[in-house]
Each structure stands twice: as C-alpha cells, then as structure tokens.
Amino acid sequence: MRIARVQTFPLFISKEDAEDSYAGEAAVEHRGYMIRPPWRSLYSPGYETLIVKIETDDGLVGWGEGLAPVAPEVAAAIVDHLLTPLIIGEDPRSVRTLWHRMSESMRERGHLTGHQADAMAAVDIALWDLWGKATGLSVSELAGGRFADVLPTYVSGVRGADDAEIAEKTAVLVEAGVRRFKMHLGTDLRTDLATFDAVNGAHPDLQVALDAHWSYRLGEAKALGRELDERHAWFFEAPLAPEDVEGHRDLAASIETPVAVGEAMRSRFEFTDWLARRAVGLTQPDIGRTGITEGIAIAAIADAFHAQVAPHHSAAFGIAMAAGLHVAASSPSLLAFEYQPLTLPVANRILTTPLEVAPNGDFTVPTGPGLGVSVDEDFVREFVRR
C-alpha cells in the first residue's frame, strides 16, 4: 500500500450559507476579515478550514483537516509544495515515521508552529484515518484504546445582547442537562464578572470557566483571578499574552483557579516548557493544529505532570472534531471536550452522518474504522476557494 495522491481543499462557507458566523454579531469588518475588540485575532466573515484527501494505490481514502480559520489557502500551499513530496509513494500506515519526516523538514527554521504545523496536522489526521481504514480499527483503538465511549463536554460560549439574555439562554441549556460552561470574555474586570455571575447564577450546581482571549495584563489578571477564586470558577483560560510564559507562571502561583492554555501551541516542546515551569494547570491542545500524533504525545506529557487535558475546538469542521474526540477518548487525564452548539451544525455539514451529541452536550466517540466519519465530497468541492 502506497500513497498515490494528495489533494487539498481550502474551504470558505459564507455567513449566509452557514446561517451563522463564528465571528458573531459583535465583530467588525477589518480588511476582508473580522475583528472582535478587545480580542486581537482576525476572524473569518463566515467559516474557513483546510481539508486534505489522501488516496492510496489500492483505492483507500483518508481525510484530514487542519484548523485554518483564516486563509486556509496558505496551509494548502504548504501541503501541496512542501509536505506532499515528503509522503508520496510511502506506506500511509507509517504514521509516526512520516510525522517525524514532516516535522524535521522545517524544524530548524522554527516551523513547528504556525501555518506549517496546521498543514502537518491536516496530513497527519488523514494518515491516521487511512491507517484505521486499512486495519479496520478506529483511531482511538490504534492509539491504545478508549477510556470512555461518551465524553464529557462543556458548552463554549452563550451568545446574547446583554447579561439578562445570556442568563436566559443559559437556563435553557441547563434545563437540557448542561452543567459545564465557558464564557468568552476579556473586556474588563467588572464586565467579565457580571457576565460570569449571570451564567453562574442559572443553577446552583454549575462549573463555569472564563476565557479572557489573552486580553489582560498581569496585575489585572491577578485581580480577576482572585475574584474567580471567590466564585470557585472552573478554570481561567488565556488570561495574558500568549508569549508571556513567566507571567502565566506568576499568575498560576497566585491564584487557586487553574490557568488553562493551549490553543496557540502546536508541539509537545511548547507544552513541556509551560508544564515544567508550572505556567499552566489545564492543557488545551487543538488537534486541528497539533495533529493526532502530536496530540497524543501532548496528552501523555500533561499526564506526566499531573495536569488534565481539555482539548480545544473552535471553528474547525467535523473531521478535526472527530480527530479531537478520538484523542480525548484515549487520554487518561481528560477533563472535558470543548463543544460549541452554534458551530456544530456547520461542522457536520461536510459529513454524510452527523457526529452524535446528547441533549446535555456530551459526545459519542465515532467507532467506525479510522476517524469513523464519512465525508460528503460533493459538499467539500462546492465550497472550495482558490
């Protein structure tokens, strides 16, 4: 069995086609993309991602996805020009060998991160999907087995025009059985705490986390962290600038609420550095950015430091979500998997059978060979943007 063909599909689904926008109503146009002050990052006006299809000479097909919420064409070009020549003609079951080859190819140039890593993640996920289809085993079985077939999740973000509307929508989710929430905040201490309290007050038995989207300076984050301690917050995500490892270490030592970090990181080397410095208490690798091979390694390193894992998942589609579910299921220190009800229908659009989610948000891990999902290739081709 040899890899015969690699194809890339940079996708763009408009806000109208998706009947939603990941950027949300608060975002403003910024040179073709969107921005949501006070957050720094660009967002798509709709949904964007990179899909990769790998075919073997005996007719097997594997699908992968790299989280590329803006400019998926960049990651696609890396797959086309840099990664495909490294894997073409090789046995797709040699997943770790091929991962090592891809990562070594640009490592001394600092390219274990950014678009290069996102491109490698897409290829790696497709290779695991192929490996599973070749053996008849699911990705989590290939990884050594599942610790659970149904995964705990948390609802990531509750949208509303004000705190009263957010509290109302939270109450509806609570009625369906949801007990874990994360709020996307990062405005200022008073505003963030008001929204946190609105959600936390919806039920006496909730676990509520706050995502600050890297917005605060250290002193502000410490003040907010102490308030979160008083409220027994679940975790405090992305409080400071993502480059400030020592600031996160200082903050983590100053508060009881676990500091959560990971979506901006791609490799086990980054996570090891943060964990060794005790700068992070909850790790959040995004498998659409790390790939499955590196994601499993990151989860193992986190477990060695007695830190839990809560895989990040935002604007990626159903292939990356399935990959994340398999890595989460095979992680001994799983806390919960991130779940965004508004984006799930978009994520499922590329699948012929949707991923299963219970009313309380918990996910059933796909059990078929490979990723256990089937891709609607006609849909993928319809929304390719070159």
The DSSP-derived string for 61-100 is EEEEEE--SS-HHHHHHHIIIIIHHHHTTS-TT-HHHHHH
Compare 23 and 139 and report the one with higher pLDDT: 139
172-183 pLDDT, tens digit per residue, is: 999 999 999 999
Rounded to 5 degrees, φ, ψ at 236 are: -120, 105
The C-alpha atoms of residue 215 and residue 271 are separated, in whole angstroms, by 21
Cis before 38? omega within 30: yes
Rounded to 5 degrees, φ, ψ at 291 are: 80, 170
Kindly tell me the burial class for residue 55, based on how many C-beta atoms sit within 10 Å of its own C-beta (0-12, 13-18, 19 or more): middle
Of the listed ranges 32-36, 72-76, 95-99, 322-326, the one predicted with least confidence: 32-36
| pLDDT confidence band for 101 (50 / 70 / 90) | very high
DSSP 334: B
Q: Taking 90 as the threshold, does the pLDDT of residue 386 lie above it?
A: no
287-304 and 318-329 helices cross at what angle (nearest 10)?
10
Q: Taking 90 as the threshold, does the pLDDT of residue 19 lie above it?
A: no
Q: What is the pLDDT of residue 86?
A: 98
H or E element, residue 291: helix 287-304
Place of tokens 């978009």: 346
Of the listed ranges 108-117, 175-184, 245-254, the one predicted with least confidence: 108-117
Listed residue (166, 201, 168, 164) closest to 185, CA to CA: 166
Compare 24 and 262 and report the one with higher pLDDT: 262
Q: What is the pLDDT of residue 23?
A: 65
| pLDDT confidence band for 190 (50 / 70 / 90) | very high
At 276 the three-state DSSP class reads: helix
Whether the Cβ atoms of residue 359 and residue 176 lie closer than 8 Å to each other: yes
Kindly tell me the burial class for residue 125, based on how many C-beta atoms sit within 10 Å of its own C-beta (0-12, 13-18, 19 or more): buried
Q: Taking 70 as the threshold, does the pLDDT of residue 242 lie above it?
A: yes
pLDDT > 90 fraction of the chain, expressed in percent and rounded: 85
Mean pLDDT of the chain: 95
Q: Taking 90 as the threshold, does the pLDDT of residue 22 lie above it?
A: no
Question: What is the CATH code for 142-370?
Answer: 3.20.20.120
Question: What is the CATH code for 3-136+378-382?
Answer: 3.30.390.10
37-96 pLDDT, tens digit per residue, is: 888 788 888 899 999 999 999 999 999 999 998 899 999 999 999 999 999 999 999 999
Q: Which long-range contacts (CB under 8 A, 24 or more apart) does 187-196 make?
A: 187/38, 187/215, 189/220, 189/223, 189/224, 189/227, 192/224, 193/224, 193/227, 194/163, 195/163, 195/166, 196/228, 196/231, 196/233
Neighbours of 180 (CB within 10 A): 21
- Averaging pLDDT over each range in 293-297, 344-348, 360-364, which range is the top one? 293-297
| pLDDT confidence band for 33 (50 / 70 / 90) | confident
Rounded to 5 degrees, φ, ψ at 276 are: -65, -30
Token output for 316: 């990626």
Helix, strand, coil percent content, the chain, rounded in steps of 5: 40, 20, 40
289-320 pLDDT, tens digit per residue, is: 999 999 999 999 999 999 999 999 988 899 99
218-230 and 245-254 helices cross at what angle (nearest 10)?
30
pLDDT > 70 fraction of the chain, expressed in percent and rounded: 99
The structure's pTM equals 0.96
The C-alpha atoms of residue 253 and residue 270 are separated, in whole angstroms, by 20
The C-alpha atoms of residue 137 and residue 245 are separated, in whole angstroms, by 39
Domain ranges of the chain: 3-136+378-382, 142-370
Over range 170-194, report the average pLDDT.
97
Q: Which residues does 50 contact at the CB level (< 8 Å), separation at least 6?
A: 8, 9, 10, 11, 65, 66, 68, 72, 75, 76, 79, 118, 119, 122
Kindly write down the DSSP assignment for every residue of 137-156, as one continuous string.
Answer: -BHHHHTT--S-SEE-EEEE
CA 240 to chain centre: 19
**3-136+378-382 and 142-370 have identical folds:** no
Over range 247-272, report the average pLDDT.
97
